[in-house]
Structures are given as structure tokens and as C-alpha cells.
Amino acid sequence: MASSTLASADAHASAGDDPGPALAGAREAIRRAALENISSLAKGEADDPRTIPLWFGESDLRPPAFLGEAMTRAIDAGHVFYTRQNGVPELRQALATYLTGLGTTPIAADRITVTAGGMNALMLTLQLVAQVGDNVVVIDPVWPNCGGIAGLVGAEVRSVRMTPTAQGWRLDPAKVAAAMDGRTRAVFFASPGNPTGAMLPAETQAALLELCRARGAWLIADEVYHRLVFGADCAPSILDIAKDEDRLVVINSFSKTWAMTGWRLGWMVHPPSVGPTLAMMVQYTTSGVTTFLQHAALAAVEEGEGFVARVRAYCKEGMGIACDALEGLAKVRLGPRPTAGMYAFFEVEGMTDSRATCLEVLRRTGVGLAPGYFFGPGSEGFLRVCVARSPTVLAEAMSRLETVLG
Ligand SMILES: Cc1ncc(COP(=O)(O)O)c(C=O)c1O
């Protein structure tokens, strides 16, 4: 297994002390940001045919053909020009209807803004609420990008770690309260979580909402894995608890639910009064999400339920295969099996450098895993595997891991 690119992935922790003359003129928050992320760690080996890439949060299922057909129809119908900044009205309405159908609280279309993926939704949200000198409390273990964006806008990230228990990962809201101060602009959580699959129970979500109300902070809820719950139609949503004008933004995406990662489509649910401001911000960033993709995305929302069920079943099956294997590996400690999401997050006995272990696993087995250190300060002893892969590929990957982790 070729490993030269990875072995020399030397941008590990930071952008480097000597930024070079041009970069020296960039904003300090940008210069300080770590260059390495999950995709850069994978660089090089990703093209090796023997590599089994379980680094990313991405399924190998292709989106259904009717979506491509809907896109072609949208182009033919002339949806190829600029559109409304908050999104194509039909899609906003369809998403409002979709969310209303899943929850217990009606969601109106003026609360929806369509974005270029969940990432763009999160960037807009943090630009809206935080600036240099502020802080954002991030509940972890968590996918690193929220913290990464907070860093780019110049805000400090305050980590509050969930605790692994025999019943799964649990959050103590008192720890969140203790981490907040007068400069806390937002609390961020993802439920179901990446990498843990943990779902915050409604009571915990309500406690976070109360805390944010009391402190005047925003609550940012990432519900990108909302539909990938094994044994239910969706996870508990903060939208069922909150009021329209709460300082709440819910991030969502087409990437996981409909396996549309490359389409770069997502949305945010926000207070109706914030819509015009978001429209202005969209104008100055993307100037709107690709018009014909938004028209095609309507088909996912309105006709995609069968496929959502398929993605969910696929993740559930993958989780079973991965967990069966992980539980049999001598060096691995896996807590209770996740009941949502697309990852297994497991501890490796004696591991003190998750990045080095991932590189070793990759070199010796060709299996790409994500290192725990990406997911928060307490996660160095962990690795993450994406289970949204074909059963055959996943079984092969898990058997290869035996040589290093068995
Ligand atoms: C928790 C979480 N939120 C948001 C995203 C962003 O998804 P996208 O930008 O593809 O919509 C991801 C992607 O892995 C994620 O895991």
C-alpha cells in the first residue's frame, strides 16, 4: 500500500509557523487554522484501488436515477438563472411541509433557507452570530467542522464532552452552563451525532434551549442525521420544542438522507425574522444555490421516502456488520451499539496517537479510518469507521482490521 503522501502529511497540527509572504497578509484566525482535516489525511491513498475508504461520512449508494432525471427536466424547463436568495419557493415550501409531517410543530416556509450543503448553512449561522472574541460551546465528540468554522470567524471553541455510559453517550447540561459566559454566542450540538450516533433526548434538548434562552445565546442544532435512525422514522427534533422566534438554527442537508453529498444541498430552519438578513448574506456569499439543483431536490423531498428507507436500512445493516466485527477485536472497546447515524466510534486499547494509528492501519491494511483527535479533545483514544458501505466491502474491511487491531 503506497503511503508516501500520507507519511509526509506534515501539516498535522497547524498551518505552520512560517506562513510565507503572501499568507502572512491573511487574517490571523485563518493563518492559525489547522490545515489537516479528514479529506487531507486521506489524500493520496484515496486513488489506490485497494484502499477501502471508510474515512468520510458518505455512503456508497448512488442517489436514485429519478433525481438526475429531475435535474435534466429542470434544465430543460429553463431553471438555469439566478433565483431567490433564500431558495426556490417551491423547495422551501416542500421542505416546510416535509418537516411539518415529521414533527409535531408546523414549520412555515419563511423559516427555511436553502444552502449549499450543511456546511454552508453552518458557515452562514456562525457568521450571523459570532465574531472575534466570542466563544461557541460545542458538544463533543463531534464532527470537527463546526469548531473549524468557529475558528475561521475568530471565535473560541469551548468543548463540553459527553460521557460514555453503559446506556450510550450522555450530556450533562450543567456542564454546558458552566462553560458559558458573557461572550458565549452559541451552543452547538449534533443529534444524532457524528461520530457517536448519540441522540440527545428531548429533555436534554429542552434543557439546552432553556439555557440559551436564559443567557441570550443561540442554539445551533445539527440534524443532518435526523432520518438515519434504526427503528424510528426520525430522531427527536428541537423543532418540536422550540418557538418560531427562539434564537435557534437547525442545520440539515440532502447529503446523508438522500445520499446526495456531491450535490451540495442543504437547508437551515431559522426564526422567520432572520430570513431577510440571511438572504442578504447569501447574496454576498454564493448568491444562491444552483437553481436547477434546487428544482431537482424537490423530487428527493416529495418522492424520495422509499430511498430514505433504503439508506436507513443500509446503515443499519452496515452498523451490524461493523459492530459484530469490532466486538471481536481484542484491542477494541466498543460501547453500546449506535442506534442511529452512519458511524461506529470505538476506543483502541493503549492508543495514544490516533492519527499515527490511522496511518498505520492504512499502510498495513488499506482501510481508511478517521482518527479520534478530529472529534474533540477527549477523543484521542478513539477511531471512527463509516458503516454506510456495501456489506461485502465492509466485511472485507473489518476482516483486514484484524491484523492491526485483533
Ligand atoms: C454532523 C454533520 N453536519 C453537517 C455535515 C455537512 O454535510 P454537507 O455539507 O455535506 O451537507 C456533516 C457531514 O459529514 C456532518 O457529519
Q: How far is the CA of 188 from the centre of ligand 1 (A)?
A: 13
Q: Which of 213, 214, 263, 266 is nearest to 242 (CA)?
A: 213
Instruction: List all residues whose CB is within 6 A of at least one atom of ligand 1.
Output: 57, 117-119, 143, 190, 194, 222, 224, 253, 255, 261, 266
Whether the domain at 4-62+307-405 and the domain at 70-303 fall into the same CATH topology = no
Which pLDDT score, from 0 to 100, does residue 92 have?
98
Looking at residues 119-126, what average pLDDT do you find?
98
Confidence of residue 29 (pLDDT cuts 50, 70, 90): confident
- Using the atom order of ligand 1, give the atom closest to the CA of residue 118: 11
Looking at residues 311-318, what average pLDDT do you find?
98
Domain boundaries, the chain: 4-62+307-405, 70-303
Q: Which of 47, 1, 46 is nearest to 400 (CA)?
A: 1
Q: In terms of residues, how long is the chain?
A: 406
Q: How far is the CA of 253 from the centre of ligand 1 (A)?
A: 7
Which pLDDT score, from 0 to 100, does residue 24 have?
87
Q: How far is the CA of 316 from the centre of ligand 1 (A)?
A: 19
Confidence of residue 6 (pLDDT cuts 50, 70, 90): very low
Would the pLDDT of 5 be above 80?
no
Task: Show Cβ contacts of residue 387 under 8 Å, excluding neighbours closer than 6 positions.
Answer: 54, 315, 318, 319, 321, 322, 342, 343, 344, 394
Would the pLDDT of 41 be above 80?
no
Would the pLDDT of 19 be above 70?
no
Q: Are 157 and 178 in contact (CB under 8 A)?
A: no
Looking at residues 257-261, what average pLDDT do you find?
97
Q: Which of 282, 285, 284 is nearest to 268 (CA)?
A: 282
Would the pLDDT of 7 be above 60?
no
Q: Are 365 and 405 in contact (CB under 8 A)?
A: no
Which pLDDT score, from 0 to 100, does residue 28 have?
87
The fold adopted by the segment(s) 70-303 is Aspartate Aminotransferase; domain 2 (3.40.640)
Distances (CA, A) of 82 to 293, 297, 312: 12, 16, 34
234-246 pLDDT, tens digit per residue, is 999 999 999 999 9
Would the pLDDT of 3 be above 70?
no
Would the pLDDT of 45 be above 90?
no
315-361 pLDDT, tens digit per residue, is 999 999 999 999 999 999 999 999 999 999 999 999 999 999 999 99
Looking at residues 27-38, what average pLDDT do you find?
82
75-114 pLDDT, tens digit per residue, is 999 999 999 999 999 999 999 999 999 999 999 999 999 9
293-304 pLDDT, tens digit per residue, is 999 999 999 999
**Closest residue to atom 7 of ligand 1, CA basis:** 118
- Using the atom order of ligand 1, give the atom closest to the CA of residue 117: 11
Q: What is the percentage of the chain residues whose pLDDT exceeds 90? A: 87
Confidence of residue 22 (pLDDT cuts 50, 70, 90): confident
Confidence of residue 17 (pLDDT cuts 50, 70, 90): low
Looking at residues 166-187, what average pLDDT do you find?
97
267 or 363: which leads in pLDDT:
267
Would the pLDDT of 11 be above 80?
no
Query: Which residue from 124, 256, 264, 265 has its CB within 8 A of the most atoms of ligand 1, so it is best to mutate?
Result: 256
Cell of 77: 424547463
Mean of per-residue pLDDT scores for the chain: 93
Looking at residues 134-140, what average pLDDT do you find?
98
Which pLDDT score, from 0 to 100, does residue 36 have?
77
Query: Which residue from 59, 224, 252 has its CB within 8 A of the most atoms of ligand 1, so it is best to mutate?
Result: 224
Domain 4-62+307-405: homologous superfamily in CATH: Aspartate Aminotransferase, domain 1 (3.90.1150.10)
